[in-house]
Chains A and B, each alone.
Chain A
Amino acid sequence: MPPVFTFFVMMLFWTALSGKFDLFHLGMGVISSGLVAWLSHDLLFEGHTKKLGATFKEIACFLRYLLWLFGQIVLANFHIAGLSLSLYPKKKLDPHIIKFKTSLKTDFARFVLANSITLTPGTVSVRIEEDIFYVHALTRRSAGDLAGDGPGEMERWVAWVFEGGSR
């Protein structure tokens, strides 16, 4: 990614946050985004070597994935709210640890998977060691298909977004 791209992202962010469009504020924005882009352009998109078209396709797939994830979050939130408001939560809880091996290759895909697992209520990713995930699940139901053999539904989605797998 060229530094120019970082500059435009920074500039967009600056304008959105400041909300002032006079010369002084925009000039300050140009100076500071230029400085940041010059100093740390290799941080924001480090290691991202895909072509621009592929990047946009990835973003589109990611948005589609976010939609699905949000549906899951809503469903699972109802589950957890019902659990904590039930009369005897201890009778319904059955905490356990799931250990599974992921087939995802890149660090970023694993990061997205771990964060998605934590976002859906009832499961928290505790630790990732190389390709082994440790996930703490609150009930057997919230564990869903993570506990099964092979990649679960969420993992297939993440693989579809970032590594061109089938959904």
Chain B
Amino acid sequence: MITDILVIIAMLSGLLFFVATTVGIIRFPDFYSRVHAAGKGDTLSTTLFLGGAILFIMRDFSGENLLTAGKLLLIVFYIFIASPTATHAIIDAGYEFRVPYWTRSSGKKGTEGDEENEENMDDGFYPDDLKG
């Protein structure tokens, strides 16, 4: 009974974090901050969700269930390596192509080829060898 409640709490809070980061993808102002939201939903929420699944399986203990729980743990481990790597690959590609980025001072979302907004871009953002 207590395990059931724990499972429900873990899965619900995992879902809540997923929803929060998904809303973040839609609401954040530019490419970079959206990548933030997209890449972060996986870490805590997947752990909570699969943790709940592991608890649920382990209610009746057997060798086979232990093996399944081990596989779920492997998935969590994999996500902890793959998610930041993928996030880094995406954001590095955006950086390479110099996607305009939003700052508080520019005050609005930059779009490609937006001359007016180009002036507001912080030059310190790019390393010297990437500057045009």
Contact = CB atoms under 8 A, between A and B. Distances in A.
Interface of A: 16-17, 19, 70, 73-74, 77, 80-81, 83-85, 89-90, 93-97, 99, 114-116, 118-119, 121-122, 124-127, 129, 132, 134, 136, 138
A97 B81 contact: no
Interface of B: 16-17, 20-21, 23-24, 27-30, 32-33, 35-37, 39-40, 43-45, 47, 64, 67, 70-71, 74, 80-81, 83-85, 87-88, 91-92, 95, 101-104, 122, 124-125, 127
Contact of A84 (B37, B80, B101): B37
Contacts of A80: 20-21, 24, 36-37, 40
Contacts of B67: 16, 19
A126 B32 CA distance: 10
Nearest to A81: B20
A127 B103 contact: no
B40 A114 contact: no
Given A81-B20, A95-B101, A118-B88, A129 B127 contact: yes
A90 B124 CA distance: 22
A77 B95 contact: no
